[in-house]
Amino acid sequence: MLVKNKTLVIGAGFGGIASALRMKALGHDVTIIDRLNNIGGRAQVFKKGNYKHDAGPTVITAPFLFDELFSLFGEDRRNYLKFVPLNPWYRFYFDNGMEFDYANSIDEMNKEIAKFNLDDINNYKNLIKQSEKIFEVGFEQLSDKPFTRFSDMIKVIPNLFKLKSFLTVSQLVNLYIKNKFLRRAFSIHPLLVGGNPFDTTSIYALIHFLERKWGIYFCMGGTGKLVYELKCLLERNDVEIILNTDIVKINTERGIATSAVSNKGGIYDCDRIIFNGDPPILYEEILKTKRNFFLNMFKREKYSMGLFVLFFGTKINYPKIAHHTIWLGKRFKSLLNDIFNKKILPNDFSLYIHRPTATDKTFAPKGHESFYVLCPVPNLQGNINWNIEGPRLQKRIIKALTKTIMPNLSKVIEDVFYMTPNDFKNDYRSMHGAGFSISPIFSQSAWFRYHNKDRKIKNLYISAAGAHPGAGIPGVLSSAKVVENLVKIEMNNESK
């Protein structure tokens, strides 16, 4: 039997790009379509004045996942992209004025930890050992494996319980680390993928070892350069790219997706569809059907927080600001409770600061710096008027940074603009303007998360942050590998 292989990828974020490349490597006729004017999803590039800004993810871990995409076609990623290791990985600034460098060297880490608590040097060593055990199961065994049957989940439950996955990230870290400031630093990772450390399953503590194993990198030229080279890779291998086109409907016949309809009335016939967007949007707005049946049992899914992202340039240099800086306010748990659970916008905040000019001077003119500051805020399930609160929050952030780690900022800042959860909803078609789709709590992970293959439409697949294994660059690139494995099974069955 001749296997049909016309694949349509809806959405050109990293999960969609990786899926398109993997399908092309299988010999498929591939079209990738996106509503924006460039591929990359949230990894867009903004330019204002003489400054360049990466709008999306800036932290690269597990670089081999990008290497694989080039090697599918006999190419070497290093011929096109330069990944530079960062040190420190992150610099933490606490409300008492102390700083902590999350370093790539264990010796450097021990010196940093000693500033807070000597006993936590050994405690951190034990935390990494536990993280490695979780990594061996959560990443190596499960991240690229489908969870389309409940039996798949049953098989891994004993290991998950053995690894204390029923604990939250914060609870697991607190079993090892005793200093309150270090506890915050070592619990921060879930926020980078949309989770509250006090709710997120401790499976995500595997990130500690993932970083230790491969390090943290920055792509010279920025994420925009990474997206550009991936676009060139798609074009070199004859993947059709359609932009400025939104898919509003998927046509089905007897449980088979036959075509997709755009907002412009175009109809795209296909043999299979891979959806790279927010899964709740797929089910609620495109298919207009029930969502994942397990998630639907809870009546209301839990979503990640929203993001307020402030972009600006400065007319002076700030050499003491690391490439990645995490600025933590006085409150931590109660602040996150306000954001994630109460859905209220507090007067205080914590911030992630990206200074690409620490590594790549092309982002700003000589003697200037390029920044973006990411502030977790409630998603649009909270009743917040961003037309009013956006300018107010901008002023509060600039004032706080001026008083602490960026003196004179209010006098040297220029070309300021920002994004709110409204922009995430409108530009990226994100449900409730959430920054990372549904949150990574235990009841929304693995089999409990959106499946990578639809239960009823047998040729509809999902490769996205809201599907297994989750958000973040390693998550969505692994999601594409899951889809590839499922399609291979389909192709093998059809060819028999």
pLDDT in tens, 118-165: 999 999 999 999 999 988 887 777 666 676 666 666 666 677 777 777
The percentage of the chain sitting over the pLDDT mark of 70, rounded to a whole number, equals 93
CA distance 351 to 353: 6
pLDDT surpasses 80 at 297: no
Least confident of 15-19, 202-206, 396-400: 202-206
**pLDDT tens, position by position, 434-452:** 999 999 888 888 777 899 9
Torsion of CA 166, 169, 173, 178, to 10 degrees: -110
**pLDDT tens, position by position, 210-232:** 999 999 999 999 999 999 999 99
Q: How confident is the model at residue 298 (pLDDT cuts 50, 70, 90)?
A: very low
pLDDT surpasses 90 at 492: no
Q: Which pLDDT belongs to residue 299?
A: 45
Using H for helix, E for strand and C for coil, what is the string for the chain? CCCCCEEEEECCCHHHHHHHHHHHHCCCEEEEECCCCCCCCCCCEEEECCEEEECCCCCECCCHHHHHHHHCCCCCHHHCCCEEECCCCEEEECCCCCEEEECCCHHHHHHHHHCCCCHHHHHHHHHHHHHHHHHHHHCCCCCCCCCCCHHHHHHHHHHHHHCCCCCEHHHHHHHHCCCHHHHHHHCCHHHHHCCCCCCEEHHHHHHHHHHHHHCCEEECCHHHHHHHHHHHHHHHCCCEEECCCCEEEEEEECCEEEEEEECCCCEEECCEEEECCCHHHHHHHHCCCCCCHHHHHCCCCCECCEEEEEEEEECCCCCCCCCEEEECCCCCHHHHHHHHHHCCCCCCCCEEEECHHHCCHHHCCCCCEEEEEEEEECCCCCCCCHHHHHHHHHHHHHHHHHHCCCCCHHHHEEEEEEECHHHHHHHHCCHHHCCCCECCEHHHCHHHCECCECCCCCCEEECCCCECCCCCHHHHHHHHHHHHHHHHHHHHHHHC
Q: Are 303 and 343 in contact (CB under 8 A)?
A: no
* Residue where the block lists tokens 């797929």: 282
Least confident of 316-325, 388-397, 436-445: 436-445
Neighbours of 452 (CB within 10 A): 26
- 395: Cβ contacts below 8 Å, ≥ 6 apart: none
**pLDDT tens, position by position, 252-274:** 999 999 999 999 999 999 999 99
- Which of these, 292, 215, 287, 277, lies nearest to 451 by C-alpha position? 292
Q: Which pLDDT belongs to residue 150?
A: 62
Q: How confident is the model at residue 293 (pLDDT cuts 50, 70, 90)?
A: very low
CA distance 335 to 389: 17
Q: Which pLDDT belongs to residue 120?
A: 97
pTM of the model: 0.94
Q: Which contacts of 128-132 are long-range, i.e. CB under 8 A and separated by 24 or more positions?
A: 128/208, 128/209, 128/212, 130/163, 130/172, 130/176, 130/205, 131/205, 131/206, 131/207, 131/208, 131/209, 131/212, 132/209
Cross-strand bridge partners of residue 168: 201
Residue with more model confidence, 57 or 8: 8
Structure-token pair, residue 150: 């409940």
- 285: Cβ contacts below 8 Å, ≥ 6 apart: 248
Least confident of 25-29, 58-62, 221-225, 427-431: 58-62
**pLDDT tens, position by position, 410-432:** 999 999 999 999 999 999 999 99
pLDDT surpasses 90 at 374: yes
Q: Which pLDDT belongs to residue 448?
A: 79
Structure-token pair, residue 317: 């240099």
